[in-house]
């Protein structure tokens, strides 16, 4: 089970989660060109190892285990996955 970044990240894009991810599965980072135009950060469901390190450091509580994404933000599971299918 992967983690998903949901709506509270929009406009925030705090990268504390990027710094704690042991497998570099959260993008775009501040050094990537698309960081400025991205609406939020995204977790690659294929690379995520379900460690949960990102969840407690998110200042806007936007990161959830996929099984616990609030109903109103369930669409963000596919939004995160679609980012990596480009």
Provide the number of structural domains found in the chain: 1
pLDDT value at position 36? 96
Degrees, nearest 5: CA angle 42-29-39? 50
C-alpha–C-alpha distance, residues 71 and 33, integer Å: 32
Tell me the residue range of the domain where 11 lies.
3-83
C-alpha Rg value of the chain to the nearest Å: 11
Closest by Cα among 71, 80, 67, 56 to 5: 80
Mind listing the pLDDT tens digit for each residue in 37-75? 999 999 999 999 999 999 999 999 999 999 999 999 999
Mean pLDDT in the chain? Answer: 96
Q: What is the CATH number of the domain that holds 11?
A: 3.30.70.20
Given pLDDT bands bounded at 50, 70 and 90, which one contains residue 1? confident
* pLDDT for 9 beyond 90: yes
Beta pairing partners, 86: none
């Amino acid at each position: 089970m992967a983690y998903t970044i949901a709506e509270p990240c929009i406009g925030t894009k705090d990268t504390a989660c990027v710094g704690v991810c042991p497998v570099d599965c959260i993008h775009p980072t501040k050094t990537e060109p698309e960081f400025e135009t991205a609406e939020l950060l995204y977790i690659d469901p294929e690379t995520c190892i379900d460690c949960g390190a990102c969840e407690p450091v998110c200042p806007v509580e936007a990161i959830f285990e996929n099984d616990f994404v609030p109903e109103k933000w369930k669409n963000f599971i596919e939004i995160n996955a679609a980012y990596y299918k480009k």
